[in-house]
């Protein structure tokens, strides 16, 4: 009978040590293997050249080294943003984005194939959830990109397709692997997890003793408007979500980010800016305004420049720290699950070339 191989890239160093000890190996072997996987980013057991041929063969017999296949990459001529499509071992396709900033290279990763949260303006959720990503598939998005650009990735945002707190265990493992000192050692302070507001998940994350930044997709200053945009708002009331966020801040000391996608005529008037300012006045937070990126399946439209400016100015006048997130890589097509979607719709061979 075929037994399924263990996904070695999802194991912590401690787990790997334990497993190798059981196989009669010295514990430093586990460290060597871990470093090959998570620091030197090799693609095969064959490449682990300080291990005996015999051990490499045994590893290959019992473990699988999950590696994503880069289907293609589009590079922006405007700002150097790179949008990647990766194929998973089972044939599913996900997207990741590299953004280049003065302060370093930031990668936005997906946490699930598809999503079941149903936010009205988001392309990732249109076809529901296919499956969760494994921790190995989350780290490997960063590993592939770092190998591709041959530069260090300094920041990771879990803000691509999927709801990270709906794939909780993989998320936490991902954070531990990517920040581990024997791996890429990306500081937890440079990691951001974005959630639509799953209260029990936020509460649990606060207790993990991590120091990652939490970003909340707020998108409205009250439950009534929020529910028209985000079905999850029927399940968790804004008051409870904000309380969980505040506790997260208290426990971790990490300042929060509130994301607010501006949709014309839905959540962008000055009344709403006022309500928002009141709502978050006691939070240690930064507001990120995102002019909505229209998807063809929905009728939502971006707010106009003047409205965005007014909204921003109002919040600033109340002493709130605000930035407007401008779309990166405008010349290379959509974002937020839109690349993957057009890829799936048009067929893998031709879609990528005709994407925009």
Q: List the catalytic residues.
A: 95, 336
- Among the listed residues 6, 19, 283, 293, the single contact to ligand SAH using CB under 6 A: 293
CA atoms 194, 130, 201, 294: torsion sign: positive
**Count of chain residues binding ligand SAH (CB under 6 A):** 17
Residue 50: partners with Cβ closer than 8 Å, 6 or more residues away? 32
Among 86, 121, 143, 174, binds ligand SAH (CB under 6 A): 121
Q: Report the nearest approach of ligand SAH to the CB of residue 23 (Å).
A: 39
Does 159 bind ligand SAH (CB under 6 A)? Our answer is yes
Q: Using CB under 6 A, which residues numbered 232 to 271 contact ligand SAH? A: 259, 261
**How far is residue 167's CA from residue 46's CA, in Å, rounded to a whole number?**
32
DSSP E strands in 37-81: the ranges are 63-64, 69-75
Footprint (CB under 6 A) of ligand SAH, residues 179-218: 194-196, 217
Residue with tokens 């990771």: 156
Taking CB under 6 A as the criterion, the residue among 42, 55, 88, 292 binding ligand SAH is 292
Residue listed under structure tokens 């801040």 = 249
Of 173 and 226, the one with the shorter C-beta distance to ligand SAH is 226
Give me the least distance between CB of 200 and ligand SAH, in Å please: 15
Q: In the window 297-316, what residues touch ligand SAH (CB under 6 A)? A: none
Q: Give me Rg for the CA atoms of the chain.
A: 21
Q: Which of 163, 184, 201, 268 binds ligand SAH (CB under 6 A)?
A: 163
Nearer to ligand SAH, 145 or 230 (CB): 230
Cβ 289 to ligand SAH, closest distance in Å? 10
Q: How far is CA 121 from the centre of its chain?
A: 18
Q: Which two tokens stand for residue 6?
A: 């263990």
> What is the SS3 string spanning 150-198?
CCCEEEEEECCCCCHHHHHHHHHHHHHHHHCCCCCCCCHHHEEEEECCC
DSSP state of 326: P
Q: What are phi and psi of 312, to 5 degrees?
A: -65, -50
In the complex, minimum distance from the CB of residue 65 to ligand SAH, in angstroms, rounded to a whole number: 28
Least distance CB 218 / ligand SAH (angstroms) = 8
Among residues 37, 119, 266, 287, the one that binds ligand SAH under rule CB under 6 A: 119
Q: In this complex, which beta carbon is closest to ligand SAH, that of residue 121 or of residue 248?
A: 121
Which of the ranges 10-18, 117-125, 140-148, 348-356 carries the binding residues for ligand SAH, by CB under 6 A?
Answer: 117-125
For ligand SAH, which is the closer residue by CB, 59 or 109? 109
- Which two tokens mark 11? 């194991």
Nearest to 201 by CA among 155, 148, 245, 161: 245
Residue with tokens 């999503």, as numbered in its chain: 115
Q: Which of 156, 294, 282, 162 is nearest to 217 (CA)?
A: 162
Is the Cβ of residue 45 or residue 121 nearer to ligand SAH in the bound state?
121
* Binding residues vs ligand SAH (CB under 6 A): 117, 119, 121-122, 159, 163, 194-196, 217, 259, 261, 290, 292-293, 295, 336
């Amino acid at each position: 009978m075929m037994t399924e191989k263990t996904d070695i890239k999802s194991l912590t160093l401690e787990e790997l040590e334990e497993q190798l000890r059981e196989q009669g190996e010295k514990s430093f072997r586990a460290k060597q293997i871990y470093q090959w996987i998570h620091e030197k980013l090799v693609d095969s057991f064959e490449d682990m050249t300080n291990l005996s041929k015999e051990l490499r063969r045994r590893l290959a017999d019992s473990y699988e080294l999950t590696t994503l296949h880069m289907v293609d990459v589009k590079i922006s001529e405007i700002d150097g943003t790179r949008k990647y499509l990766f194929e998973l071992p089972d044939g599913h396709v996900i997207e990741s984005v590299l953004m280049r900033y003065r302060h370093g290279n930031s990668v936005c990763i997906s946490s699930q194939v598809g999503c079941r949260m149903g936010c009205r303006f988001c392309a990732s959720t249109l076809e529901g959830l296919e499956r969760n990503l494994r921790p190995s598939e989350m780290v490997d998005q960063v590993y592939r990109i770092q190998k591709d650009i041959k530069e260090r990735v300094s920041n990771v945002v879990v803000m691509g397709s999927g709801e990270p707190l709906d794939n909780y265990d993989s998320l936490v493992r991902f954070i531990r692997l990517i920040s581990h000192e024997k791996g890429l050692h990306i500081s937890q302070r440079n990691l951001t997890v974005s959630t639509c507001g799953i209260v029990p998940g936020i509460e649990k994350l606060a207790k993990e003793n991590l120091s990652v930044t939490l970003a909340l997709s707020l998108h409205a200053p009250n439950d009534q408007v929020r529910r028209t945009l985000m079905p999850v708002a029927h399940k968790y009331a804004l008051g409870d979500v904000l309380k969980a966020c505040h506790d997260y801040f208290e426990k971790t000391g990490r300042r929060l980010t509130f994301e607010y996608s501006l949709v014309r005529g839905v959540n962008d008037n000055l009344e709403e800016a006022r309500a928002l300012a009141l709502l978050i006045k006691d939070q240690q937070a930064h507001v990120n305004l995102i002019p909505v990126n229209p998807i063809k399946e929905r009728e939502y439209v971006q707010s106009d420049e003047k409205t965005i400016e007014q909204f921003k100015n109002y919040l600033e006048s109340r002493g709130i720290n605000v930035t407007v997130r401008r779309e990166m890589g405008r010349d290379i097509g959509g974002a937020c699950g839109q690349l993957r979607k057009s890829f799936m719709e048009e067929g893998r061979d031709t879609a990528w070339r005709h994407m925009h």
